[in-house]
Structure 1
Amino acid sequence: MAEQEVKLMKGNEALAHAAIRCGADGYFGYPITPQTEVIETLAELKPWETTGMVVVQAESEVASINMVYGGGGAGKKVMTSSSSPGVSLMQEGISYMAGAEVPGLIVNVQRGGPGLGTIQPSQSDYFQATRGGGNGDYYIIVLAPNSVQEMADFVDLGFTLAFKYRIPAMILSDGVIGQMMEKVVLPPIKPRRTEEEILRECPWATTGRSKGRKPNVITSLELKSEVMELRNLHLQEKYRKIRENEVRYETKFMDDAEYMIVAFGSAARIAEKAIEMARAEGIKVGLFRPITLWPFPTNEIAAAAAKVKGILVAEINAGQMVDDVRLAVNGAVPVEHYGRLGGIVPEPEEMVKVLKEKLV
């Protein structure tokens, strides 16, 4: 058995290493705090000299996502990364990709907003990610890492799901996870796919007229309303299958829990410490961490809620995921929210205080 390769690095750096190691064909991005280490690491590693992976600093975020659209339309494993206002600029391209069923990976290392906001961490892009963000009736798969290890692991997972369902996938991280340093086991090295493998695995891709093959047309445009409705119904059926098969979540300390904290990303890490402190005071609290923010673990949260007296939703925003939790619980138990704004990261003591004041 091959020895695992353990490194100490930032979440952004781990993501860049993972992109190369999982056989990505291309990265197209634009610098913005707090995710600039992604493109800086790729520039330092020079994968175009080792694996042939293309790395381009595009002229803008709009150009970046359209390069991903083009590369994904040719069946290539391509990705981009940015932070909140940069991802806002990408929304038209993401909608185009969803409508044309083009796979690709988008990484959002969130910072506070709205607008240009702050360069400090936030989780205020939840609505943008899970509600589609751009125009039309569509969703994208959203993975929320809460460690440097998951920043690395979710690159390959994101590509796998994107190509399995022909859908854009997003890693919704934040400035805490992107900038923090932890030990990480880098994923095994996968070779980039050959052109023959791409033709076999992606018969829908547009690859020109090589070898007598008629080119496919990749587009989200349809001028006939009745045809567009059929295309939309097809997409809705795909989303139904994703909801059935791709929900991911993690629970901790739930066996005897009387209360539950629901949190994702870095807020879930803070919640774990808050739970430790609350249990030291005799308050039995458990953690429910959604890993897929879309598809959201609605049924699983509802089942967990049936065993507790109340739920605290902890987010680094004004209250976004709390809406989905309340819909899942449907009034069965009280659901309260706690969050900090403007790039301020909450302390575990604050969560315990709110838990005791509002629920216990």
Structure 2
Amino acid sequence: MREKKLIKGNEAFAIAAINAGCRYYFGYPITPQNEIPEYMSRELAKAAGAFIQAESELGAINMAYGAAAAGGRVLLSSSSPGIALMQEGISLLCSVQLPVVLINVMRGGPGIGSIQPAQADYNQVTKGGGNGDYHCIVYAPNSIQEAMDMIYNAFDIADEYRNPVIIAADGMLGQMMEPVIVPSMKEAVKEKDIPLIKPYALTGHKNQRERNAINSVWLKQDLLEDYINEYWPKYEKAEKELPEYVNTKVKDAEVVFVAYGSTSRIVLEAMDLLAEDGIRAGLIRPKTLWPFPNKAFEEINPKAAHVITVELSKGQLINDVKLAIEGRYPVSLINRVGGMLLDPIEIADRTKKILEVE
């Protein structure tokens, strides 16, 4: 068994990407994810890759478009306001069906906000800040090890679905250190093999095949409608095959929490505190934010008194939870915003007050 190494979150994210065969990185410095571009600037060239610090987040997303169009395995990283600037480019990537992996190390907002951890980008990454009909596949790790594993697999998912994949990691995960097992190094795709693996890529046809074109402009609306209907089944496939979640003690719980990312770890401690007072609590932890794991909620104890979302936002996850529950249970919110963190005692105390109201 491989030994564990103590690594800072952001550096671990970069290592996972390189080991997954990523050879192209584009980004722009923004706290709390700066260690990712710093690591990539130092290490990616050693793996025969290319690092570019763009002039802005707008530049980064459009450079990524070009590299992905040529068949490369591409990583972008940024934090909340930087991701906001990339929304048009993300919509464009979805439009032309190009695979990239994007790490969002979330911070407080709105606007420039704070540099402290937050989860207020939930709507941004799951509902899409760009125009048109599209989805991004979104993973939400709650540990550095899980983040590495998700990033490592995300490149394959992006290639399979020809779609951007977002890793929604809050600033706490980016800045903390944990012991991890580093995933093994994959062999990067050779340039000569790209046309076989990615036949849509713009590699130069050299009279060996029909000319490729990547197009996001449709002047005839019936052709655009046909195009959208043609690619939409991949999202329906994703909704069937990709949802992931972890349920803890939900089948006999009287109160069920829903939380993701590092907040879910705090909730687990709060559950122990509640157990000391005789309150049976469970946790649903979505590992995919889109597709949302609706089936996880079918396992809730039918006699549960309440479902509570715990999030570092004014309540964004809660909307998908209400849709999944379909009115079967009352739903409440325990939260902090602006980069303020919850602690287990606060969660336990606020839960007791909610149950008293019941």
8 Å contact kept, 1:208–1:214: no
Question: In 1, Cα distance between the equivalents of 2:256 and 2:230?
Answer: 37
* Superposition map of 1:238-277 within 5 A: 238-277=234-273
* Superposition map of 1:273-284 within 5 A: 273-284=269-280
User: Is the aligned partner of 1:157 residue 2:157?
Assistant: no
Give deviations 1:261-293, integer Å, cap 9, x for gaps: 100001111111111111121111011100000
Q: What does residue 27 of structure 2 align with?
A: 29
Question: In 1, Cα distance between the equivalents of 2:147 and 2:349?
Answer: 31
Give deviations 1:212-261, integer Å, cap 9, x for gaps: 23331112211110010011112322211110110011112234322111
Question: In 2, Cα distance between the equivalents of 1:267 and 1:79?
Answer: 25
Give deviations 1:330-354, integer Å, cap 9, x for gaps: 1101110111011001111111112
Q: What does residue 318 of structure 1 align with?
A: 314
* SS of 1:210 mapped into structure 2: coil
Letter in 2 for 1:74: A
Give deviations 1:90-134, integer Å, cap 9, x for gaps: 001000000000110111000000000001110000000000110
* SS of 2:334 mapped into structure 1: strand
Deviation, structure 1 residue 303 = 3.9
Deviating beyond 6 angstroms after TM superposition, the runs of 4 or more aligned structure 1 residues are none
* SS of 2:61 mapped into structure 1: helix
Match of 1:61 among 57, 76, 88: 57
Q: What does residue 4 of structure 1 align with?
A: 2
User: Is the aligned partner of 1:134 residue 2:108?
Assistant: no
RMSD: 1.4
Match of 2:16 among 15, 18, 26: 18
Letter in 1 for 2:143: S
My pick for the range that moved more, 190-199 or 258-267, is 190-199
Deviation, structure 1 residue 85 = 0.3
* Superposition map of 1:173-184 within 5 A: 173-184=169-180
Deviation, structure 1 residue 302 = 3.9
Evaluate the alpha carbon distance shift between residue 165 and residue 307 of structure 1 in structure 2; reply closer, same or farther with a 3 A threshold: farther
User: Is the aligned partner of 1:337 residue 2:333?
Assistant: yes
8 Å contact kept, 1:305–1:311: no
Deviation, structure 1 residue 307 = 5.5
Q: What does residue 293 of structure 2 align with?
A: 297
User: Is the aligned partner of 1:99 residue 2:95?
Assistant: yes
Q: What does residue 41 of structure 2 align with?
A: 43
Deviation, structure 1 residue 205 = 1.4
8 Å contact kept, 2:251–2:301: no
User: Is the aligned partner of 1:356 residue 2:355?
Assistant: no
8 Å contact kept, 2:250–2:299: no
When the two structures are aligned, how many residues end up with a matched partner? 356
Give deviations 1:36-56, integer Å, cap 9, x for gaps: 0001112232x313x211111
Question: In 1, Cα distance between the equivalents of 2:3 and 2:69?
Answer: 33
Match of 1:171 among 167, 174, 179: 167
Evaluate the alpha carbon distance shift between residue 305 and residue 327 of structure 1 in structure 2; reply closer, same or farther with a 3 A threshold: farther
Question: In 1, Cα distance between the equivalents of 2:320 and 2:278?
Answer: 29
8 Å contact kept, 1:199–1:205: yes
Deviation, structure 1 residue 153 = 1.0
User: Is the aligned partner of 1:219 residue 2:215?
Assistant: yes
Letter in 2 for 1:257: A
Question: In 2, Cα distance between the equivalents of 1:225 and 1:146?
Answer: 43
Deviation, structure 1 residue 5 = 4.3
8 Å contact kept, 1:338–1:354: yes
Evaluate the alpha carbon distance shift between residue 89 and residue 80 of structure 1 in structure 2; reply closer, same or farther with a 3 A threshold: same
* Superposition map of 1:79-94 within 5 A: 79-94=75-90
8 Å contact kept, 1:12–1:151: no
Letter in 2 for 1:28: F
My pick for the range that moved more, 206-215 or 217-226, is 206-215
8 Å contact kept, 1:68–1:78: yes
Deviation, structure 1 residue 295 = 0.1
Question: In 1, Cα distance between the equivalents of 2:68 and 2:4?
Answer: 31
Is there any run of 5+ residues in structure 2 with no aligned partner, and where? Answer: none
Evaluate the alpha carbon distance shift between residue 335 and residue 25 of structure 1 in structure 2; reply closer, same or farther with a 3 A threshold: same
Letter in 1 for 2:84: S
8 Å contact kept, 2:170–2:261: yes
